Structure 1
Amino acid sequence: MEKNSEGTLVLVLLTLIEVFLSGAVEVQPSISPAVAGGPLTLSLSPSTTLNSGSWAVGASLILTWVGEQQAVFPTYIGRASVNVSTGALTLNPITLVDSGVYIVQSNDPQFTANTSIAVVEPVSNVTLSVNQTNLVEFSSSAVVTCSVSSGSSLSFLWLNGSSEVTASDRVQLTDGNATLTILNVTRYDQGPFTCYVFNSVSNGSNTVNFTVFYGPDNMALTINGQSMTSFLVGSNLTLLCSAQSSPPAQLQWAFRGQNVNTTGPMLYLYNATENQSGPYSCLAFNNATTVNTTITTQITIANSSGSQQQEANVWLLPLLLLAALLLSLPGKI
């Protein structure tokens, strides 16, 4: 009876040890998430001496071992091995299809442990596909698609310069943010636009710039760098015309509605005469946008002596009228 009691006690102790080991042993990956193309080792913690066991991913067996002997299943031959002493499994190289729940089982001692492994492929060779890079303001739309040669579990982020691009009435982000569409571009949509592609193990980027044709608009016309438009006969005048335009606008000058033989931003009037008084116009034309616009200013060129005589006459006439009135009064003859 004593021997039976001792045997029962041993079995209970062994059962308690197995339960303890089953709850205490954990599988620790050498890297998580795992990088496709690289090695992955799944070790047991705490370190345990095993006499036999098996590894599986999901319902698919990878290998088994007993003592010093191990058997690798066909789909893992050449890239799976086990440390028969510690039970550590090594896969090299690991692939995307190797993602899953890895289970280790041992009968000596008896326990089961598992861990979930995600395999991620690094990002490589980010490229941009663009419908067109030369655009016309308010009439063209840009479509840019970002792609990679390889990579998994990808996220996409777009920047305009250093500012993040977000969706709006004119901006669309589709295909999981891989495609950027800008409707009715403006002059502020020239970029650079950068697509950043990333996952938990790597990242990459590529950039595109646009040429946006716009204008001419916001025209300005100054004379001698001032806003005044009245000058004396004999003055030398420099008329300067400017317009916001891409490409730069072609500028043509006109006087009293008739083109003059002058192009470019400046028109010179040397030793100006009264006959040169009148409306001066600057006409701007953009070949790319086919838009033209005009600005006109009225210039007055007057004789200084004539102006003084006219001013004296303005003061003299009331005085003469007053004198005539006084002389006409009775008793003043």
Structure 2
Amino acid sequence: MKKKSEGRLAIVWLALIQGVLASGAVEVKPSINPAVVGDSVTLSLSPLTNLRSGSWAVGESLILTWVGDQQAVFPAHSGRASVNVLTGALALNSVTVADSGVYVLQSSNPELKAAASIAVFEPISNVTLRANRTQLVELSSSAVFTCSVSSGSSLSFLWMNASAELQRRDGVQLTDGNATLTIANVTRHDRGPFRCRAFNPVSHGTSDRVNLTISYGPDHMALTVNGQNTTSFDAGSNLTVLCSALSHPPAQLRWAFRGQLVNTTGPLLQRFNVVEEQSGPYSCLAFNNHTGMNSSITARIEIAKTSSRSEQQAINVMLLPLLLLVELLSLLPEKL
């Protein structure tokens, strides 16, 4: 009676197990996922299950089949795939990117079907950044960067300007799977340094820096006289007029007085012991031979007229009799 009960219990447990397997409760778990090219990957069942026969396939391509302790590996995986004939675990050696896919296990004894996907990636090496050219002119040139790798699969790209991620804006375009960066009509703020970062789930790499030389200006010109904001001075003063302009490369500077060029170049114009006749408009002219652009700024400087020494002496002579009279009156007796 006891043996019959144990037999019935075993049958019930077997039915339950087969029901669980058929319901898909068994999972296939890869030992590594994602995997790197050259890795060995084992696809095992969880929970552990005893299988007496079955087959493994990736997509619609059979890898191997087995019955009992006999297994047959199909040519595409010959020497690289084997199965544990007791547990149904599939071992793949020296995997390649082509081994990525959905792996399906089917068994009729007991009946079950389970699947899992694995992804295999080639590590990234030698990330290289190239620019179509590095000498550009502001608002009239475009920069095109290309990021490439010597090896690596399923690549993603991130672009950096200086130490921050490149901000998307008008004129900035990413193409070729983000491997190509185009900046249309560069500005002086697009000098870089630029870098690209390539990555996939198993590795990453960053390129060397590339800098751009952007020619711009001249613009934002300014004039100061003797380091002051005022432009009115007394006759006899010494004047130092300073001209500045934003420009790369530095602008060539020339000077003009009342619309006529003077024999002075560079940022400084100096005048000593100025006179009233030197009042008028002073202009600084800037030219950048890389951009072909020019700009100018003008300030009117007024020289105030002051009395000469001879004029002052004449005034003093005229006042002398009056001063003598005052002095004499102060000496007379009070009764008079």
Distance in 1 (CA, whole Å) between partners of 2:14 and 2:188 is 79
What does residue range 1-333 of structure 1 map to in structure 2 within 5 Å?
14-22=14-22, 23-165=24-166, 167-206=168-207, 207-305=209-307
Distance in 1 (CA, whole Å) between partners of 2:304 and 2:59 is 99
Identity %: 68
Instruction: Provide, for residues 1-52 of structure 1, a one-character-per-residue CA deviation record: whole Å limited to 9, x for no partner.
Output: xxxxx99998776454333334332110112233333222111111234444
Equivalent position SS for 2:149:
strand
Distance in 2 (CA, whole Å) between partners of 1:59 and 1:231 is 94
Distance in 2 (CA, whole Å) between partners of 1:133 and 1:278 is 44
Equivalent position SS for 1:132:
coil
Distance in 1 (CA, whole Å) between partners of 2:11 and 2:126 is 61
Q: Which moved more, 1:238-247 or 1:265-274?
A: 265-274
Distance in 1 (CA, whole Å) between partners of 2:170 and 2:59 is 47
Q: Which moved more, 1:284-293 or 1:42-51?
A: 42-51
Distance in 1 (CA, whole Å) between partners of 2:70 and 2:15 is 27
Superposition deviation, residue 67 in structure 1 = 4.9
The two structures have a TM-score, normalised by structure 1, of 0.79
Superposition deviation, residue 170 in structure 1 = 2.0
Superposition deviation, residue 73 in structure 1 = 2.4
- What are the ranges of 5 or more consecutive residues in structure 2 without an aligned counterpart? 1-5, 312-336
Contact 1:33 1:119 survives alignment (8 Å): yes
Equivalent position SS for 1:18:
helix
Distance in 1 (CA, whole Å) between partners of 2:125 and 2:176 is 19
Superposition deviation, residue 290 in structure 1 = 1.4
Equivalent position SS for 2:269:
strand
Contact 2:139 2:185 survives alignment (8 Å): yes
The two structures have a TM-score, normalised by structure 2, of 0.79
Superposition deviation, residue 163 in structure 1 = 4.7
Equivalent position SS for 2:307:
helix
Superposition deviation, residue 138 in structure 1 = 1.4
Give 1:246's aligned amino acid.
Answer: H
Distance in 2 (CA, whole Å) between partners of 1:302 and 1:13 is 116
Equivalent position SS for 1:304:
coil
Give 1:238's aligned amino acid.
Answer: T
**Structure 1 runs, 4 residues or longer, greater than 6 Å off:** 6-13
Contact 2:129 2:195 survives alignment (8 Å): no
Instruction: Provide, for residues 202-232 of structure 1, a one-character-per-residue CA deviation record: whole Å limited to 9, x for no partner.
Output: 3333343211110001110100111211212
- What are the ranges of 5 or more consecutive residues in structure 1 without an aligned counterpart? 1-5, 310-333
Indicate the RMSD between aligned Cα atoms, in angstroms.
3.2
